[in-house]
Structure 1
Amino acid sequence: MAADYLREREGMAGMDECDVLVVGLGPAGAAAATAAAKAGARVMAVERRQSLGGVANCPEFIPVPLGLHARADHVLIQSIVGARSHHGNGARADSLLPGCVINRDAFDRALIDFSRASGAQVRHDIVFSGLDADHSEATLNQNGRPHIVHYRALVAADGHASAVARLIGLPSLKKMFTRRYRVALHAPQDTVDFWLSRRYPGGYGWLIPAGKDAVLGTGMEEQVAHEALDDLHRQLAGAGLVGDTILSQSAGAVPVGGLREKLAWGNILFAGDAAGLAHPLTGAGIHPAVVSGEAAGKAAAEWASGHLGAIPSYEAKVRGQFSAVLARALRNREPLEMPFSTAYGEPDMEASGWHVVRGAFEQEFRQ
């Protein structure tokens, strides 16, 4: 065993050591790196993308509690006061939804700047390619050169398709696929719109205003997401609400199956989407990502300094804060998944089938 372990190190470019290794630098990872560094830990935070930041030209909504993170330059686009949900039978429901729309790229960059300012070592264009959990060693790869990092605690904040989870043999998370178009908005508005019907199997469509532009999106089954978004765009452009031209587009996925069975495995803590912390009904994940990231970073730093109860406390804290909301959302998601066996384009479900979903949207967005 010892000989095999030593042979695995051959050809490595070198070895670093840190108290806390953070994998992924989205909102959860950046928040974790900042919290761990502020707690006095030696932090290395790595990101696989070639550049740091979120999705360029992709405004996103965040609730009021995260507003303080939108104070950095170029982050805040506009305020939001409410939500409007549209149902398959033509019914419409309005509700309060205080928050703001942010430039996601600038938001993520601001969080990463906080990490650097707090003392975290931040690296990008790094592939997390190997993990020896028994020896607390990770293999990082940059430009084809593998490098070993020894850590005391690891925060996995690398998204729904977490490489950390895969390397320790954890199952994949259930996902909802998203597509987004940025288009011109012909009249200002301070509400976000949601569409709920059989046109969006397993999900919904949305419009988020962003100053003079808007983001149209769908979160649903992958097979028909593109077709449904094109239909929504044509519908709104035909009504004169948005422009015909697609200014930019992006796609992705969010976990919608609730929390992982365990949020910590030994000295490895999962946060954000990697922990399954996106809302199963709405797909919203920035708020729980930042909250869980901060808690994971603090717990990892405490664990690294010898507080063995820190990681179990992290699991209890996150479950205590989010389990009930996510469990309720999973129950309320069931009506969204009913159309999965129905062909795209058939008549909408009766209104009563969507009243539950509408109520869930209104309730959950106020959490």
Structure 2
Amino acid sequence: MIAEPDFDVAVVGAGPAGLAAARAAAAAGARTILIDRAEHPRYKTCGGGLIGTSLALAAPRIQVPSRDSISSITFTDDGHRAFTRQSARPLLTMVRRDEFDHALLEAAASAGAKVLQNAQVRALDQDAESATVTFGDGVSLTARVVIGADGSAGVTSRYVGVAFEQQDLGLEVELAATREDREARRGRVQLDWGAEPGSYGWVFPKDDELTVGVIMAKGKGAETKDYLTKFLSTLGLNGRDVRRDSGHLTRCRTPDAPLTRGRVLVAGDAAGLLEPWTREGISYALRSGAWAGEVAARAAEQGVGALDGYPALVRKHLVPEMTAGHRLLGVFSRHRHLVHAAMATPMGWRAFESFCQGDLSMAAVLQRSPIRVAVGLLGGDGDQAAAKPAR
């Protein structure tokens, strides 16, 4: 007699992708367990800016713990040539990841997911009937399907064999905001185009804190640190109390990187799913996580073949956006001054505004004839990310 698996769906990792997956699977009726190595609420290095796409996905499930609503953006070019654009509608919603993720955790638990925290997953295995998740203490559990959402350096990503073609280092500090900071920065973010190709910095206001960070290609650690130091000095923020100082790597998948291996599938950062130019990942995590949870619940009933629906969703909805992001990153890396100037034009601002508000994807931006022509002339690198299908 074949033993019944302990769960229908086991989700490894409780960031936005894993939390969305666990809620979706549990809501679909699957016996679901959500596993995380930490305990919520916990700090997570992240700008914490929700674009409209993310807000639309999160708001029906949770009361979004907003720290600020952004309606204007100040653009600078390596600290110079500043100008500010204003929108009639909110552009971004600022959250702290400990608060945002904890709210998503409670939603997953309310949907019926069992939550196991302070549990480090060390290994995965599978056979014809189930997948086995083994913890650091040697204890294990079984599930019909495992969803990996433990980050690009996690166990599940390595198990599935995800490969990455773009890797970037982000450095970030959380500063205590003074009364003057709050008055000057409330409702407004700052984006700075850095001198190193493909780099940029940001200032995100979150009520009593300012999140200041920079990002550029991995392998330039000293340059990244220097950029952050210079950026803080230019902003006049050197004297602020530093509440947290952290760094993280972001990784974009190669076009042919797998998303599944038998009964195991990966979502969010573990799958290398994020927007290559802005490195925005929360909307990708929420979307891919929800799809993974829905498909996993279906596979628990119908068999492992149902998991084929997950790569198809990624291929249809996310790969075109990532392809467009790669092209825009190529243009930005070569022509940051022109990108800066474009944000001051009605066409450039409307496109960026619509992307932030969730009305226009990166792929849709590039479908606009003037932008498509301009990107082609400026050396956008074609359809690299769509050369091979997601699988």
TM normalised by structure 1 equals 0.81
**Mean CA deviation greater in 172-181 or 204-213:** 172-181
1:317 equivalenced with 2:313 (yes/no): yes
Q: What is residue 352 of structure 1 aligned with on the other side?
A: 338
- Aligned CA distance change for structure 1 residues 267 and 106 (closer, same or farther; 3 Å): same
Aligned amino acid, residue 158 of structure 2: R
Q: Which structure 2 residues correspond to residues 299-318 of structure 1 after superposition, within 5 A? A: 299-306=295-302, 310-318=306-314
- Aligned CA distance change for structure 1 residues 350 and 311 (closer, same or farther; 3 Å): closer
SS at match of 2:14: coil
1:76 equivalenced with 2:72 (yes/no): no
Q: What is residue 329 of structure 2 aligned with on the other side?
A: 333
SS at match of 1:304: helix
**Mean CA deviation greater in 21-30 or 215-224:** 215-224
Question: C-alpha distance in 2, partners of 1:65/1:212?
Answer: 26
Q: What is residue 246 of structure 2 aligned with on the other side?
A: 250
Q: What is residue 191 of structure 2 aligned with on the other side?
A: 194
Question: C-alpha distance in 1, partners of 2:24/2:214?
Answer: 33
Could you tell me whether the CA contact under 8 Å between 2:5 and 2:144 is conserved in 1?
A: no
The Cα offsets for residues 95-128 of structure 1, whole Å up to 9 and x where unpaired, read as 6462211121011011111111222121122222
Question: C-alpha distance in 1, partners of 2:156/2:46?
Answer: 27
Once the two structures are TM-superposed, the CA of residue 173 in structure 1 deviates from its matched residue by 5.5
| Unmatched tracts of structure 2, length 5 or more | 362-391
Question: C-alpha distance in 1, partners of 2:197/2:292?
Answer: 34
Question: C-alpha distance in 1, partners of 2:277/2:50?
Answer: 16
Could you tell me whether the CA contact under 8 Å between 2:162 and 2:271 is conserved in 1?
A: no
SS at match of 1:218: strand
Once the two structures are TM-superposed, the CA of residue 308 in structure 1 deviates from its matched residue by 5.3
Q: What is residue 110 of structure 2 aligned with on the other side?
A: 117
Question: C-alpha distance in 2, partners of 1:365/1:175?
Answer: 23
Aligned amino acid, residue 26 of structure 2: A
Q: What is residue 233 of structure 1 aligned with on the other side?
A: 232
SS at match of 2:229: helix
| Unmatched tracts of structure 1, length 5 or more | 1-14, 339-348
Q: What is residue 8 of structure 1 aligned with on the other side?
A: none
1:61 equivalenced with 2:54 (yes/no): no
Q: What is residue 280 of structure 1 aligned with on the other side?
A: 276
SS at match of 1:146: coil
1:99 equivalenced with 2:89 (yes/no): no
Q: 1:138 aligns with which of 129, 132, 142?
A: 132
- Aligned CA distance change for structure 1 residues 168 and 77 (closer, same or farther; 3 Å): closer
Aligned amino acid, residue 190 of structure 2: D
Q: 1:181 aligns with which of 173, 188, 199?
A: 173
Question: C-alpha distance in 2, partners of 1:192/1:41?
Answer: 41
The Cα offsets for residues 42-78 of structure 1, whole Å up to 9 and x where unpaired, read as 11211122x2245269661102344363685782111
SS at match of 1:115: helix
Matched pairs, number: 336
Q: What is residue 38 of structure 1 aligned with on the other side?
A: 27
Q: 1:90 aligns with which of 81, 85, 108?
A: 81
Question: C-alpha distance in 1, partners of 2:189/2:85?
Answer: 10
Q: 2:204 aligns with which of 204, 208, 226?
A: 208
The Cα offsets for residues 242-291 of structure 1, whole Å up to 9 and x where unpaired, read as 85332322211222456663322322221111122211111111112111
SS at match of 1:220: strand
Query: Where do 4+ consecutive residues of structure 1 move more than 6 Å?
Result: none
Question: C-alpha distance in 2, partners of 1:326/1:66?
Answer: 16
- Aligned CA distance change for structure 1 residues 265 and 357 (closer, same or farther; 3 Å): farther
1:29 equivalenced with 2:18 (yes/no): yes
Query: RMSD of aligned C-alpha atoms?
Result: 2.9
SS at match of 1:76: coil
Question: C-alpha distance in 2, partners of 1:33/1:293?
Answer: 8
Question: C-alpha distance in 2, partners of 1:337/1:188?
Answer: 28
Aligned amino acid, residue 40 of structure 1: G
- Aligned CA distance change for structure 1 residues 352 and 220 (closer, same or farther; 3 Å): same
Aligned amino acid, residue 192 of structure 1: V
Once the two structures are TM-superposed, the CA of residue 165 in structure 1 deviates from its matched residue by 2.3
Aligned amino acid, residue 165 of structure 1: S
Once the two structures are TM-superposed, the CA of residue 79 in structure 1 deviates from its matched residue by 0.8
Percentage of identical aligned residues: 28
- Aligned CA distance change for structure 1 residues 40 and 74 (closer, same or farther; 3 Å): closer
Could you tell me whether the CA contact under 8 Å between 1:257 and 1:330 is conserved in 2?
A: no
Question: C-alpha distance in 2, partners of 1:258/1:362?
Answer: 28
- Aligned CA distance change for structure 1 residues 169 and 351 (closer, same or farther; 3 Å): closer
1:265 equivalenced with 2:257 (yes/no): no
Question: C-alpha distance in 2, partners of 1:246/1:130?
Answer: 37
Question: C-alpha distance in 2, partners of 1:93/1:130?
Answer: 49
- Aligned CA distance change for structure 1 residues 83 and 257 (closer, same or farther; 3 Å): farther
Question: C-alpha distance in 1, partners of 2:316/2:86?
Answer: 27
Question: C-alpha distance in 1, partners of 2:309/2:118?
Answer: 32
SS at match of 2:48: strand
Question: C-alpha distance in 1, partners of 2:339/2:23?
Answer: 44
Once the two structures are TM-superposed, the CA of residue 209 in structure 1 deviates from its matched residue by 1.2
- Aligned CA distance change for structure 1 residues 95 and 203 (closer, same or farther; 3 Å): farther
The Cα offsets for residues 195-238 of structure 1, whole Å up to 9 and x where unpaired, read as 1131x443210011112421110111341222211111111116
Question: C-alpha distance in 1, partners of 2:279/2:42?
Answer: 17
TM normalised by structure 2 equals 0.76
